[in-house]
Structure 1
Amino acid sequence: MTRTDEIAAGLAEVETRIAGACAKAGRPREEVTLIAVTKTYPASDVRILAGLGVTDVGENRDQEAAEKAGSLTDLSLTWHFVGQLQTNKVRSVVGYADVIHSVDRPRLVQAISREAVRAGREVTCLVQVALDDDPSRGGARPADVPGLADELAAASGVRLGGLMAVAPLGEDPAAAFARLRDLAVAVRAGHPGATMVSAGMSGDLDEAVAHGATHVRVGTALLGLRKAFVR
C-alpha cells in the first residue's frame, strides 16, 4: 500500500466519522471543517492531503510549520497554528498562519496585531479557553474570555474568529464541550461574526461536533502514528 493509499483510507474513515456525527446532531456536513494536523509528518503528506481535497492544515511548532509552509507555497492551503504561542515566535507565525487558534492573553493580542499590521496581513484569531486548571495546556480562564474577545475584535490586523479548546484529560469531553458551546454563544452575542468553534481531535471529535464544533483538528486518525519530523 502506498502512502497515498494509507492517507486516503484514513481520510475516508475520518470523513465517515464526521458525517455520522453531523447526522446524529442534525447538522449539515458542510458546517464542519476538517483541519489536518500534520505536526511531525513530512511536507509530502501535506501534498498528498491537498491532492485528496484537504485544504486546511494545522501545525503547533513554529520552526516545523514555517519550513513546511515555505515549501508548499504552490498549494492553495489555509494554515492553522494550533499550538501554544510565545510572543517571540509571533513574527514568524504571522508570516504564514492564516488562523491562530491559541490566543489566551492580552500581550499576545498586542503582539499579533503589531506583526500583522507590519506584514500587511489580516490574521483570524481564536480565543483559547482553558476547560481545566492545567496551566501547561494554555488557554484563558472562562471568566476572562469575553474581555479577550473584545480586545481581539478591536485590534488592528486581526479578526476575531471565535473560540478554541482542548478537552480536559480524564473528563467526559461532552461536558467540557458543552461549556465551550455556552461560552461561544455568549461571545457571539456581542460579536456575531465570531462563528468558529475549534474543538475535537482524533479521540473526541464526535462529542465536539455534537456540541457545535465548526472545526475539528485531526492528526493520528488521519495520518497514522506519529514519527519524528525529518527535514
Structure 2
Amino acid sequence: MVEVLVEGVAGVGRTAGAVTLTAVTKTYPASDVLLLAGLGVTDVGENRDQEAAPKAAEVRAAGVGLRWHYIGQLQRNKARSVAAYADVVESVDSERLAAALNKAAANRERPLDVLIQVSIDEDPERGGAAGDDLWRISDAVASSDGLRLCGLMAVAPLGWEPDRAFARLAELRSRLVAAHPGATTLSAGMSGDLEAAIRHGATHVRIGTSLLGMRNLLR
C-alpha cells in the first residue's frame, strides 16, 4: 500500500510528502496501532468513540505519540469525549455539532482541528454538509475560539466514478480556500480510489483494508 501511495503521488507530479496516509484502525487493537507506529505511521483514524477513547489512552500510555483523527459520524453528546483525545475531527456536518465541539474544546491546550464533511451528491441519507450549509458551517468553525478550520473531508458516493466525485470536491475546496486561506486540507480517498483522490488534490488518504486486511466486524 505504501508503494501504491507513492506511485499515485508521483504519477500526478506531486512529492511523496504531499499526501499523508491516515491508517484506519477501527476494530483493531492498540497493539496493531503500535506496530503501525513502529513502521512509520503517524496518523490514525477511528470512527467509534467507545473504541477509540481507550485505544488512544493505551497507545499514549505506551509512550507513542500519534495524530488521532475521528472520522465517523459524531453525536453531539460524544463531543466532550472525542475532544479529549482526538487531534482532528473530520466529520463535522452541522453548526450544532461545531458548537458542541467548540464548547468541549475549551480546556484544550490548542484548538481542535476540524474538517467539514461534504456530501458530494447532496443526498441527505448519506450525511455530510451540502449547498449553503457547507459555507455556514465553515464560517461557524472558523469563528470558534476552540476550533481550527483545516479543510474538507468526503467519501465518493456509491455509483459515482471517483474522478467525477473528487473533481467536484476539488471545486468546493477551491471555494473554501478562497474564503479561508488556511483551510487547505483535503481528506479524500480510501483503499479502492486513492489514486483518483490524489489526482484531484487529496492531502490525506484514509486506508484500512489495504493495510490491515479485511475486518472482523464481530470484534
TM-score (norm 1): 0.91
- 2:46 equivalent in structure 1: 59
Q: Using a 3 Å threshold, how does the CA distance of structure 1 residues 43 and 163 change in structure 2: closer, same or farther?
A: same
> Which ranges of structure 2 fall in alignment gaps of 5 or more residues?
none
Q: Name the SS of the counterpart of 1:159 in structure 2.
A: strand
- 1:162 equivalent in structure 2: 151
Shift of 1:16: 1.1
Note the 1:25-36 alignment, pairs <5 A. 25-36=12-23
Letter of the structure 2 residue corresponding to residue 40 of structure 1: T
CA distance in 2 between counterparts of 1:228 and 1:190 reads 41
Deviating above 4 A after TM superposition, structure 1's stretches of 4 or more consecutive aligned residues are: none
> Which of 30, 35, 43 is matched with 2:30 structurally?
43
* Larger CA deviation: 138-147 vs 50-59: 138-147
Q: Does 2:152 align with 1:148? A: no
**Could you tell me whether the CA contact under 8 Å between 1:131 and 1:165 is conserved in 2?**
yes
CA distance in 1 between counterparts of 2:206 and 2:24 reads 6
Shift of 1:93: 0.3
CA distance in 2 between counterparts of 1:187 and 1:100 reads 17
Letter of the structure 2 residue corresponding to residue 57 of structure 1: V
CA distance in 2 between counterparts of 1:174 and 1:147 reads 27
**Could you tell me whether the CA contact under 8 Å between 1:41 and 1:229 is conserved in 2?**
no
Q: Which one has the bigger helix percentage?
A: 1
- 1:4 equivalent in structure 2: none
* Larger CA deviation: 67-76 vs 136-145: 136-145
TM-score (norm 2): 0.95
> Which of 18, 23, 42 is matched with 2:5 structurally?
18
Letter of the structure 2 residue corresponding to residue 17 of structure 1: V
Q: Name the SS of the counterpart of 2:183 in structure 1.
A: coil
**Backbone CA RMSD of aligned residues:** 1.2
**Could you tell me whether the CA contact under 8 Å between 1:101 and 1:127 is conserved in 2?**
yes
- 2:81 equivalent in structure 1: 92
Q: Does 2:97 align with 1:105? A: no
Letter of the structure 1 residue corresponding to residue 120 of structure 2: L
- 2:187 equivalent in structure 1: 198
CA distance in 1 between counterparts of 2:84 and 2:218 reads 21
Q: Using a 3 Å threshold, how does the CA distance of structure 1 residues 19 and 142 change in structure 2: closer, same or farther?
A: farther
Q: Does 2:193 align with 1:209? A: no
Shift of 1:145: 1.5
**Could you tell me whether the CA contact under 8 Å between 1:42 and 1:229 is conserved in 2?**
no
* Structure 1 residues 50-91: Cα deviation after superposition (integer angstroms, max 9, x where no partner): 000101000000000001001111211000000010001101
**Could you tell me whether the CA contact under 8 Å between 1:37 and 1:57 is conserved in 2?**
yes
**Could you tell me whether the CA contact under 8 Å between 2:189 and 2:195 is conserved in 1?**
yes
Q: Name the SS of the counterpart of 2:151 in structure 1.
A: strand
Q: Name the SS of the counterpart of 2:116 in structure 1.
A: strand
**Could you tell me whether the CA contact under 8 Å between 1:202 and 1:217 is conserved in 2?**
yes
CA distance in 1 between counterparts of 2:194 and 2:200 reads 10
* Structure 1 residues 140-187: Cα deviation after superposition (integer angstroms, max 9, x where no partner): 014321221111110011100100001001110110110110110111
Letter of the structure 2 residue corresponding to residue 18 of structure 1: L
Shift of 1:18: 1.2
CA distance in 1 between counterparts of 2:131 and 2:163 reads 17
Shift of 1:133: 4.0
